[in-house]
Structure formats: C-alpha cells, structure tokens
Amino acid sequence: MLKLSAFLYGKMIELRNALYDKGVLDTHDLGARTISIGNITAGGTGKTPLVAYVANILAERGERVCILTRGYGREHPKQKVLVSDGANIYADVREAGDEAFELARSLHGKASVIADADRVSGAEWAKRTACSTAFVLDDGFQHRKVKRDVDIVCIDATNPFGGGKMLPVGRLREPLRCLLRADILVITRSDLIEEDRLSKLRSDLGHLNPHASVFQASTTIDRVVRLAEFEAEMTSLHQVGRTLAFCGLGNPQSFFSRLTLDGIELVGEESFRDHHYYTQQDAEKLDRLAAELGAESLITTAKDAVKLSGLEFAIPCYVVEIELVLDNPDGFAAMV
C-alpha cells in the first residue's frame, strides 16, 4: 500500500510540474527580487539558518526584506499572520509557528516575517504595508505559484536524497530530476560527513544539475545562553558542564553531533518529534533523565527554546544559537 501511495504521489507531482512547465498553471511575479529557499526531501535539512543568512545579505544591501513562510505547526494555518514588521514581534510562537517566530526574533530590525499559506497574498500585503523590496520564500521550492529570481535548494549531507524514494516510502518530495530547476544547491551539514562521501555527493549533484552552483555549508556555535537570559551575552561553554541535550528537530542527530564536535560533554540525548510544543511534564521528564545520567545542565536549540517559556527546570537549561558558515560566502552573496 505504501509503495502504491508513493507511486501515485510521484505521478501527481509530475503532472503538477508539467502544468507549470507548459504554462497551464500561472506563476505570479511578486514585483520585487524574490529568493526561494527550500529542499527536495521532507524533514530538517538546515534550511532555516540559510533563510536568515540570505535575509541578512539582502538587508545589508539596503533592501526592505520580507520573509514569506507557511508557518508550519501554527495553531491556525489558514490565517494570515504578521509575525514581525522588522521592528516589533506581534505574534507568539503558537500563532506564528516555531521557525517563523525564531526567524522574527533572530532577524529583529532586519526583516519582517509573514506567515501565510498564500505567499502571493502575503507579498501583496507586505508591499502595501511595509514597502518590501525583496522577498525570501521559506520552504519555497515546491511553491511554484510564485516566480522567483533565484531558486536555492538545501541538500542535507547526512541524508541527501531521503532513501531515494518518494513519500511516504522515502523522504523525497519530488523526483531527483526536479533539482534541474535549482540555480544554487547548498550542501548543509557538510562538516558532519567524511571527505570522500562529500566528494561523491558533489559529483552526484553535478550529474543531477550540471548548471547549478554548488556551495558547502556548516554551522558553528555562535553563543550559548541561559534559557532565562535568551537575549543575554555569551556564556562560556565550560560553564555548561556535563549536559543532557534535547530537541524537536527533523534531524536531531545533526544537533547532537554539532555539540560533540564543538567540545560539549554530552551524557545523554533526548529527541522529541519535529515542531514539538513542550509541557511542564516534558520538563519534569528531562529533569528525571538528567538526574539518572548525572547531568549538570540541559541544552537545546533556539527553535526549541522559544517553546519553553514558563516551564521550570530543576537544573540550568542552556540555549545554543548557531551561525551558518559557507565555503564561498562572496560567491554566494553575489548570486543572491
């Protein structure tokens, strides 16, 4: 049954793409520079840090940037929500969705964020109210209703092609040949695999799309702060001590591996489903596990931290904020 579902899903995607390719289905020009950032597999590919990275590039060049996002996991997905106008945040995490809220927080003063399933409507509203001059489509590769100037696709180095099969058997959202639509391919988490695997992946991508520019991206820990002082100055890593890491991400192992590579002493790892909203029961569960493992602290991601407000932990909880690093930042910025 799953194989049949995957076959039918693939045929549906092929038909939809053919209708766009032949002009039967219309694409809408947003009337401003539009950069799409997406992926070809379901689950976490490290896309959100790249969205912020691109928004920063555009903002530094004087653009009035607006991020258009679906706002996955929010309470009312059909509503248009102004998450941020760049200066103020107007929605909480449940109204905005965790990724949209975190983008609004991290891009304070640099970009507005609108959560709307209809990106065209969201863009028209942004131009009228915020005079936006550049748009970044979050998770936009499959959103072909919007015309884009640059199409960027994130490829997770640790699981690049999702088993090579379509949903729901594998993790592919489209057949791999659809990568031909991309202008830029960014291999995320490139530092988490061996060099020979990375070379083979670059070669595979070159065959799948010989015209796209390929960049490698990794992340470094920008700062670690106490949960209660999310906006405070950096905390030294040695203060974290023996720690239990937890997160609700599409690819939790990438977070745990990042911590280990940066020298943080993990005594345990705890994963929740992607976009999980935490309760006090979750906090107490983590406290018990930490006590069993002899952890001195807890540590999590900024995406998770925005959903921990009001929860109490028996031991300190730290938040990791990461910075994206590209192998050729000048070349990437020039294309954006």
Predicted confidence pLDDT, tens digits, the chain (336 residues):
778 888 888 889 999 999 999 999 999 999 999 999 999 998 888 899 999 999 999 999 999 999 999 988 898 888 999 999 998 999 999 999 999 999 999 999 999 999 999 999 999 989 888 889 999 999 999 999 999 999 999 999 999 998 888 888 889 999 999 999 999 999 999 999 999 999 999 999 999 999 999 999 999 888 888 888 764 444 455 578 999 999 999 889 999 999 998 889 999 999 999 989 999 999 999 999 999 999 999 999 999 999 998 899 999 999 998 889 999 999 999 999
pLDDT of residue 234: 42
Is the domain of 199 the same as that of 263? Answer: no
Pair (16, 73) in one structural domain: yes
* 111 domain residue, yes or no: yes
Domain boundary residue, one of 211, 232, 261: 211
Number of domains in the chain: 2
Q: 179 and 53: one domain?
A: yes
State whether 43 and 174 are in the same domain.
yes
* Domain extent for 227: 222-321
- Asked, for residue 85, whether it belongs to a domain, the answer is yes
Question: What is the pTM (predicted TM-score) of this model?
Answer: 0.89
**Is residue 26, in this structure, part of any structural domain at all?**
yes
In the three-class reduction of DSSP (H, G, I as helix; E, B as strand; rest coil), residue 110 is classed as coil
Do 227 and 252 have their domain in common?
yes
Query: Can you tell me the distance from the alpha carbon of 47 to that of 180, in angstroms, rounded to the nearest whole number?
Result: 19
Q: Which of 211, 233, 252 is the last residue of a domain?
A: 211
Structure tokens at 24: 């039967």
Q: What is d(CA 292, CA 287) in angstroms, rounded to the nearest whole number?
A: 9
Query: CB neighbours of 163 closer than 8 A, spacing ≥ 6?
Result: 169, 170, 171, 172
The rounded Cα 74 to chain-centroid distance in angstroms is 15
191 and 245 in a single domain? The answer is no
Let me know whether 177 and 235 are in one domain: no
Q: Are residues 33 and 140 in the same domain?
A: yes
Asked if residue 154 and residue 6 are part of one domain, the reply reads yes
Query: Of 168, 190, 211, at which residue does a domain stop?
Result: 211
Nearest to 88 by CA among 71, 105, 102: 105
> Within a domain: residue 137?
yes
Output DSSP code: residue 327. S
Q: How far apart are CA 246 and CA 260, in angstroms?
A: 13
The first and second tokens of residue 311, run together, are 């929860």
Please give the sequence-ordered ranges of beta strands (E in DSSP) within 72-128, or none if there are none: 81-84, 111-115
In a domain, 327, yes or no: no
Q: Domain of 268: which CATH number? A: 3.40.50
User: Could you give the 3-state DSSP secondary structure of residue 43?
Assistant: coil
Is the same domain home to 43 and 188? Answer: yes
Are residues 26 and 63 located together in one domain of the fold? yes
Q: Are residues 268 and 309 in the same domain?
A: yes
Please report where in the chains the tokens 């976490």 appear, as a residue: 44
69 domain-assigned = yes
125 found inside a domain = yes
Distance from C-alpha of 336 to C-alpha of 332, rounded to nearest angstrom:
6
Measured between alpha carbons, how far is 253 from 63 in angstroms, rounded to an integer? 36
In the three-class reduction of DSSP (H, G, I as helix; E, B as strand; rest coil), residue 285 is classed as helix
**How high is the pLDDT of residue 240?**
86
Query: CB-based contacts of 212: which residues, under 8 Å, 6+ apart?
Result: 179, 182, 183, 184, 185, 205
For residue 335, being part of any structural domain is answered with no
